[in-house]
């Protein structure tokens, strides 16, 4: 689209959609008008994508996830469609700055952490490589929450993202479906003539909102379908009888399902709501997938050959019994035939070894809320256990593998039983799954298990988030890397080119200046761009060990107080993370970090050498600002606890050096860059487990280590008007993630990092090597592996849309 045509389309939407002349429109209205122009183009592209897929009978990939952390869409879509310059020129003629419009868009409130960001990256890559794909999730009205720090304590506020975000969504009320909860089920028979009556159930309407996801150069456009909960009908009889509140309450209770992402579940109501969310997602989605397939092919017999349903973590695993329900109750299949189809259609990715994420639902809650689904899970469990016993498997092992046992429905077990493939998300993680979490399953069905290491939508994280680096790459290796990330290796001959390395250093410094400008404007924080930018941004969880980072900063502070004349390279530590609302200990860690930063700022003897900035409400847009500015990427989880990570990959491709443990994808980053281009520390997975088995005693370690003892004493005595006894007590007591055991190794790693940073030639060479070796962590590569090894799907053939295949 030319700039002139783009200008005409913008004006048309201003006049006819918003009823305002170009002269009277503000930036917000211009943003929405430009978004509608882009959306119109993408919808046409999606229509063409669907026509080509149908004409060629291309296998459809359906990706189910509770969250899609998309960030902002305008810049990403303009870049992918090659329209950024046309839009910029069109707006310039109207006296409007495109960059000002970018700031009008909120981050979409559809995700929280790495799980959702990975899903967003995968949709981008599915489109770019031309696969027939749809994502499914929920249209959360308020997202997770907007984080506000009050005296260092995390406070949760509603995230009002829809007023600016809904411009990208197209409601499709004619495709709404009913989802049923509660009630009771009459006796069911699992043969070809069974009858099932589900009575007195509660109906909730699932209304789809569609969002187009463009690929690079518009090869294909994927669709993200988001379900919003609505009451299926309004009870006029109750209302007219004068019981107004009751009538309105019934409507509100239905809509609460999609109000908030991950409602707190430390109470029975919260658990019930989470279960309802998950079933609402999968029931609406599976009904939609079945409808689409039957409309096109008339039978479900071909479902495994033409459809791949992928479950991203345990949240959508109820898709397995829901698909069985539809085939048994609505399509007339017998159990064996239905199970054969389901088990050849569904695949499952596990994302964590954390017990709280391997969801288990109380059997009574599950049975009351989802009676028919519970009945089907019972039968899946009965048949699975009978099959295992028939193979001579030990009874205790069968109990551990059972989807239904000990009064709980075990979602991870149900996923493995129902899926044809199960994969981890890094080489180390996949081995841990086989050796621990799913050891029993792996011994009995090893062919199910595989690995697909995570990847990132690197075009967004370089070409859009880091224009200086993109220009550097274009100058030295051309633009071919945008289609083939492996071409980044063409940088390697520049590792000894002093001029090129100085150019790269200047790119980094400009990014640091840009970030420093934002931090001053947003927080009044004055940071030194010539200091080491040491950044840890990710979800706040003990296993990610933000408190190891903070404890070491506290020890540095105390050391600088004792050695004021020491030769020390100034450091800026930047944190960004949200804690789950009910995760008290994580909130304590946030407050400790914030108050530590305030104490350092108030001390003139130290504040020119150390600086802590905790960015509020960390999100994709802030990541796009901070990651290109990082010198050091903190990836310091206890070995064996992080499945993969994706922030490590984003930092790497932006030229930050990883300081981390041999955990998750750090193992593969190390393989890629070698010992000399990464800063590793700490125990391996095997060493951590050996220490745990031998009897880890952090209290003794703390008492016998003068640096740790001094830091913990200050935490207990308090600063900033409060003490941190809970944190100190945990570290002295159980220290579940072995912060103290890795403390010395971490301190030494930071000393090595400082020494390396001082040698600018060496450091710049490390940065360049990391960029050059980051191509293997592309989402394009990950999607090709899923398609070839798990989904058995091919891209849509590039044929004219009116040609029949």
pLDDT for res 805: 32
Average pLDDT estimate for 155-171:
96
pTM: 0.95
Q: What's the CA gap between 541 and 495, in Å, rounded?
A: 37
User: Is the predicted pLDDT of residue 451 greater than 50, yes or no?
Assistant: yes
- The count of residues in the chain is 805
For residue 254, what pLDDT band results from cuts at 50, 70 and 90? confident
Specify whether the CB–CB gap between 203 and 66 falls below 8 A.
no
Residues facing 203 on adjacent strands: 180
pLDDT for res 762: 97
pLDDT for res 338: 98
User: Is the predicted pLDDT of residue 737 greater than 70, yes or no?
Assistant: yes
The conformation of residue 63, written as its DSSP 8-state character, comes to E
User: Is the predicted pLDDT of residue 82 greater than 60, yes or no?
Assistant: yes
pLDDT for res 798: 83
Specify whether the CB–CB gap between 38 and 115 falls below 8 A.
no
Average pLDDT estimate for 365-379:
96
Task: Give the catalytic positions in this structure.
Answer: 351, 538-539, 544, 646, 650
User: Is the predicted pLDDT of residue 119 greater than 90, yes or no?
Assistant: yes
Max CA-CA distance within the chain? 86
Closest Cα partner for 532 from 556, 499, 563? 556
Q: What's the CA gap between 549 and 121, in Å, rounded?
A: 28
Whole-number Cα distances in Å, 527 to 359, 389, 512, 571, 591? 42, 64, 9, 9, 20
The conformation of residue 563, written as its DSSP 8-state character, comes to -
User: Is the predicted pLDDT of residue 449 greater than 90, yes or no?
Assistant: yes
Q: What share of the chain is helix, strand, coil (3-state, %, to 5)?
A: 55, 15, 30
Residue percentage of the chain with pLDDT more than 90: 90
Radius of gyration of the chain measured on its C-alpha atoms: 27
| Cβ neighbours around 238 below 10 Å, total | 16
Helix axis angle, 743-758 relative to 706-717, nearest 10°? 100
Domains 265-452 and 475-693+740-782 share a fold: yes
User: Is the predicted pLDDT of residue 250 greater than 80, yes or no?
Assistant: no
pLDDT for res 272: 94
User: Tokens 């009320």 map to which residue?
Assistant: 173
pLDDT for res 234: 58
Pairing of strands 221-231, 404-405: unpaired
Pairing of strands 360-362, 170-171: unpaired
Question: Is the backbone of residue 317 left (phi > 0), alpha (psi -120 to 50) or beta?
Answer: alpha
pLDDT for res 803: 40
For residue 248, what pLDDT band results from cuts at 50, 70 and 90? low
In sequence order, the 6+-apart residues with CB closer than 8 A to the CB of 247 are 234, 235, 236, 238, 239
Write the pLDDT tens digit of every residue in 193-211: 566 778 888 999 999 999 9
Taking the domain 265-452, which CATH number applies?
3.40.50.2000
In 507-645 the beta strands, taken as DSSP E runs, fall at: 532-537, 571-576, 610-615, 632-635
Three-class SS state of 600: helix
Specify whether the CB–CB gap between 501 and 768 falls below 8 A.
yes
Question: Is the backbone of residue 452 left (phi > 0), alpha (psi -120 to 50) or beta?
Answer: beta
Q: What's the CA gap between 132 and 213, in Å, rounded?
A: 12
pLDDT for res 217: 87
User: Is the predicted pLDDT of residue 188 greater than 60, yes or no?
Assistant: no
Write the pLDDT tens digit of every residue in 590-606: 999 999 999 999 999 99
Alpha helices in 256-354, H assignment, sequence order: 268-297, 303-306, 319-325, 335-343
Taking the domain 475-693+740-782, which CATH number applies?
3.40.50.2000
In sequence order, the 6+-apart residues with CB closer than 8 A to the CB of 325 are 372, 373, 376
pLDDT for res 733: 95
| Cβ neighbours around 179 below 10 Å, total | 24
- Written as six digits, the tokens of 514 are 């840009």
Write the pLDDT tens digit of every residue in 136-152: 999 999 989 999 999 99
Query: Which has more pLDDT, 375 or 197?
Result: 375
Distance of CA 663 to the CA centre of its chain: 18
pLDDT for res 735: 97
| Cβ neighbours around 323 below 10 Å, total | 29
- Written as six digits, the tokens of 471 are 């220009």
Write the pLDDT tens digit of every residue in 786-797: 999 999 999 999
Write the pLDDT tens digit of every residue in 410-442: 999 999 999 999 999 999 999 999 999 999 999
pLDDT for res 264: 83
Q: What's the CA gap between 625 and 605, in Å, rounded?
A: 30
Helix axis angle, 743-758 relative to 546-562, nearest 10°? 70
User: Is the predicted pLDDT of residue 127 greater than 90, yes or no?
Assistant: yes
Pairing of strands 408-410, 404-405: antiparallel
User: Is the predicted pLDDT of residue 191 greater than 60, yes or no?
Assistant: no
User: Is the predicted pLDDT of residue 94 greater than 60, yes or no?
Assistant: yes
| Residue 360 host element (H or E) | strand 360-362
Torsion over CA: 555, 558, 562, 565 (sign): positive
For residue 189, what pLDDT band results from cuts at 50, 70 and 90? low
User: Tokens 């080509």 map to which residue?
Assistant: 52
Specify whether the CB–CB gap between 658 and 635 falls below 8 A.
yes
Specify whether the CB–CB gap between 430 and 449 falls below 8 A.
yes
User: Tokens 């599915």 map to which residue?
Assistant: 126
242 phi and psi, to 5 degrees? Answer: 100, -5
- For the chain, give the mean pLDDT: 94
Write the pLDDT tens digit of every residue in 651-710: 999 999 999 999 999 999 999 999 999 999 999 999 999 999 999 999 999 999 999 999
User: Is the predicted pLDDT of residue 294 greater than 50, yes or no?
Assistant: yes
Could you tell me the residue ranges of all domains in the chain?
A: 265-452, 475-693+740-782
């Amino acid at each position: 689209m030319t700039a002139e045509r783009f200008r005409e389309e913008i004006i048309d939407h201003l006049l006819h959609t918003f009823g305002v002349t170009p002269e009277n429109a503000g930036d917000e209205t211009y943003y929405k008008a430009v978004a509608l122009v882009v959306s119109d183009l993408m919808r046409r592209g999606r229509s063409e994508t669907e026509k080509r897929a149908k004409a060629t009978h291309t296998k459809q990939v359906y990706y189910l996830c509770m969250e899609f952390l998309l960030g902002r869409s305008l810049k990403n879509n303009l870049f992918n469609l090659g329209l950024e310059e046309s839009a910029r020129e069109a707006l310039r003629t109207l006296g409007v700055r495109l960059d000002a419009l970018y700031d009008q868009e909120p981050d979409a409130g559809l995700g929280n952490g790495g799980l959702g960001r990975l899903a967003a990256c995968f949709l981008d890559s599915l489109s770019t490589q031309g696969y027939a794909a749809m994502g499914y999730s929920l249209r959360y009205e308020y997202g997770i929450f907007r984080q506000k720090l009050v005296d260092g304590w995390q406070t949760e506020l509603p995230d009002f993202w829809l007023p600016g975000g809904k411009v990208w969504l197209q409601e499709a009320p004619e495709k709404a479906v009913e989802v049923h909860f509660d009630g009771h089920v009459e006796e069911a028979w699992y043969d070809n003539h069974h009858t099932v009556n589900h009575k007195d159930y509660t109906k909730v309407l699932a209304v789809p909102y569609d969002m187009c996801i463009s690929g690079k150069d518009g090869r294909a456009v994927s669709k993200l379908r988001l379900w919003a909960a609505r009451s299926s009908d309004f009870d006029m009889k109750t209302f007219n009888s004068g019981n107004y509140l009751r009538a309105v309450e019934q409507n509100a209770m239905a809509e609460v399902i999609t109000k908030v992402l991950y409602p707190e579940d430390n109470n029975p109501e919260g658990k019930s709501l989470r279960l309802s969310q998950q079933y609402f997602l999968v029931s609406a989605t599976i009904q939609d997938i079945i409808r689409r397939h039957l409309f096109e092919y008339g039978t479900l017999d071909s479902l495994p050959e033409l459809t791949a349903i992928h479950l991203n973590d345990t949240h959508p695993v109820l898709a397995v019994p829901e698909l069985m329900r539809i085939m048994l109750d609505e399509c007339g299949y017998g159990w064996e035939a239905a199970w054969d189809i389901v088990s050849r259609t569904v695949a499952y990715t596990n994302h964590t070894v954390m017990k709280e994420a391997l969801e288990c639902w109380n059997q009574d809650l599950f049975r009351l809320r989802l009676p028919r689904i519970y009945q089907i899970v019972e039968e899946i469990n009965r048949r699975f256990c009978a099959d295992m016993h028939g193979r001579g498997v030990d009874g205790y092992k069968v109990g551990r593998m059972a989807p239904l046992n000990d009064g709980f429905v075990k979602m991870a077990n149900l996923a493995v039983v129902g899926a044809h493939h199960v994969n981890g998300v890094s080489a180390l993680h996949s081995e841990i799954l086989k050796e621990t979490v799913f050891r029993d399953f792996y011994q009995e069905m090893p062919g199910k298990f595989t690995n697909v290491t995570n990847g990132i939508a690197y075009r967004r994280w370089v070409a859009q988030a880091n224009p200086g680096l993109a220009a550097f790459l274009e100058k030295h290796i051309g633009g071919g890397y945008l289609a083939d990330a492996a071409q980044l290796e063409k940088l390697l001959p520049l590792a000894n080119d002093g001029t090129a390395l100085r150019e790269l250093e200047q790119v980094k410094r400009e990014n640091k200046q840009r970030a420093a400008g934002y931090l001053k404007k947003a927080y009044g924080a004055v940071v030194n761009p010539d200091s080491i930018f040491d950044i840890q941004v990710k979800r706040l969880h003990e296993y990610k060990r933000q408190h190891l980072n903070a404890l070491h900063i506290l020890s540095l502070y105390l050391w600088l107080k004792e050695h004021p004349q020491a030769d020390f390279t100034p450091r800026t530590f930047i944190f960004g993370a949200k804690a789950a609302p009910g995760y008290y200990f994580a909130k304590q860690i946030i407050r400790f970090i914030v108050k530590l930063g305030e104490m350092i700022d108030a001390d003139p003897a130290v504040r020119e050498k150390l600086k802590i900035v905790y960015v509020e409400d960390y999100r994709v847009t802030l990541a796009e600002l901070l990651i290109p500015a990082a010198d050091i990427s903190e990836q310091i989880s206890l070995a064996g606890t992080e499945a993969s990570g994706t922030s490590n990959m984003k930092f790497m491709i932006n030229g930050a050096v990883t300081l981390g443990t041999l955990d998750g994808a750090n193992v593969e980053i190390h393989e890629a860059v070698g010992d000399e281009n990464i800063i590793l520390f700490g125990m391996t997975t095997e060493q951590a487990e050996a220490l745990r088995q031998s009897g880890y005693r952090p209290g003794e370690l703390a008492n016998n280590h003068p640096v740790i003892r001094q830091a913990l004493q200050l935490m207990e005595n308090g600063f900033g008007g409060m003490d941190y006894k809970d944190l100190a007590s945990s570290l002295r007591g159980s220290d579940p993630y072995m912060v103290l055991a890795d403390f010395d190794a971490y301190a030494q790693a930071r000393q090595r990092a400082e020494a390396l940073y001082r040698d600018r030639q060496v450091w710049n060479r490390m940065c360049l090597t990391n960029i050059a070796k980051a191509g293997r962590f592309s989402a394009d590569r990950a999607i090709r592996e899923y398609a070839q090894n798990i989904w058995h799907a091919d891209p849509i053939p590039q044929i004219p849309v009116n040609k029949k295949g």
